[in-house]
Amino acid sequence: MSATGRALVTGGNRGIGLAIARSLAEAGHAVAVTYRSGEPPEGLVGVRCEVTDTASVDAAFAEAEQRLEGPVDILVANAGITRDQLLMRMSDDEYDSVVDTNLGGAFRCARRATKGMIRLRRGRIILISSVVGLYGLPGQANYAASKSALVGLARSISRELGGRGITANVVAPGFIETDMTDALPPDRKEAYLAAIPAGRFGATQEVAAAVRFLAGEDAAYITGAVIPVDGGLGMGH
Ligand code: NDP
């Protein structure tokens, strides 16, 4: 792995993805982010991408690789959605859309990214999961299933491509201060905080710091790992 690379961050136009993209850029990597609507963030290469659509993923990679002037060697699969519902009431669409975005999207991006990485004989694949993947939460059967499956995806990639200088790891954030946590009712917020050993929600920059480390040269011997950034909430995973 050279000291700096070419990174693509899916869903990098806001939230955790944007913090990751900015942190990778600060570390000296050339960074492209995907976005679906509106404008891409200032100062970063933006490419449109719908991760549930293979043609869109392939086109986004082609555009990013053209604008970054070389193959992507750092993939951060961050795009994700929730559609919470109790299991008994969960529709096929609520299940399918979450699994197709969170797991299918990561699969499509990783598959496309490895083409260039195999030729380069180096690569970093970082999949953004969630503490909920291995912890479970009521109303999030679809989300937890999609996020825990990223562990199997990363570990299989590690075994398939470890010999080609490619690592694949999972970062599992806990509750991170975003629009989502801001909107929680006060009693739910208190209950979640009481369960977190660190006694606070995390910051997007704290997730970005773990991703930045995994993307760098110092993490060459870390693969198939699940790195929690959750203030201790999921201890024992
Ligand atoms: P946001 O809802 O703020 O952003 C989600 C991003 O994913 C957006 O850029 C969105 O694009 C993009 N996206 C969603 N669906 C698609 C799709 N089908 N195709 C392309 N892009 C898509 O999420 P967060 O920043 O909060 O979360 C980022 C990741 O971190 C997610 O995978 C989430 O599950 C995970 N996570 C978040 C936690 C939290 O506390 N916030 C905790 C644990 C994990 P657009 O702007 O176009 O909608």
CA of 36 to the centre of ligand 1 (A): 11
204: three-class secondary structure by DSSP: helix
Q: For the segment 110-150, what is each residue's pLDDT rounded down to a tens digit?
A: 999 999 999 999 999 999 999 999 999 999 999 999 999 99
Distance CA 106, CA 34 (A): 13
CA of 227 to the centre of ligand 1 (A): 18
Ramachandran region of residue 224, left (φ > 0), alpha (ψ -120 to 50) or beta? left
Protein residues with CB under 6 Å of any ligand 1 atom: 10-11, 13-17, 34-37, 49-52, 78-81, 101, 128, 130, 173, 175-176, 178, 180-181
Mean pLDDT, to the nearest integer, of 206-220?
98
Residue of 9, 14, 181, 206 best suited for mutating to test ligand 1, as the one with most atoms within 8 Å of CB = 14
Residue 157 placed within a domain = yes
Name the helix (H) or strand (E) containing 55.
helix 54-67
Neighbouring-strand partners of residue 48: 35
Residue 171 placed within a domain = yes
Non-local CB neighbours of 227 within 8 Å, separated by 6+ positions? 169, 170, 171, 172, 210, 214
Residue 188 placed within a domain = no
Q: Of 95, 143, 192, 221, which one is the catalytic site residue?
A: 143
Closest to 114 in 3D by CA, of 68, 63, 163: 163
Task: State yes or no: pLDDT of 237 exceeds 80.
Answer: no
Residue 199 placed within a domain = no
ipTM score assigned to the predicted complex = 0.99
Non-local CB neighbours of 46 within 8 Å, separated by 6+ positions? 13, 32, 33, 34, 35, 39, 40
Question: What is the domain range of residue 62?
Answer: 6-177+204-226
Nearest residue by C-alpha to atom 1 in ligand 1: 15
Structure tokens at 229: 């950034």
CATH for 51 = 3.40.50.720
Q: Whole-number mean pLDDT of the chain?
A: 96
Residue 184 placed within a domain = no
Distance CA 147, CA 234 (A): 14
Task: State yes or no: pLDDT of 7 exceeds 70.
Answer: yes
Residue 17 placed within a domain = yes
Task: State yes or no: pLDDT of 181 exceeds 90.
Answer: no
27: three-class secondary structure by DSSP: coil
Residue 92 placed within a domain = yes
Instruction: Check if the beta carbon of residue 169 is closer than 8 Å to that of residue 156.
Output: no
Closest to 106 in 3D by CA, of 80, 135, 130: 80
Nearest residue by C-alpha to atom 13 in ligand 1: 79
Residue written as tokens 């963030």?
A: 41
Whether 143 is catalytic is yes
Residue 233 placed within a domain = no
Distance CA 34, CA 22 (A): 13
How many domains are there within the chain? Answer: 1
165: three-class secondary structure by DSSP: coil
Q: What angle separates helix 105-120 from helix 141-161, to the nearest 10 degrees? A: 20
CA of 113 to the centre of ligand 1 (A): 20
Chain centre distance of CA 170: 8
pLDDT at 2: 66
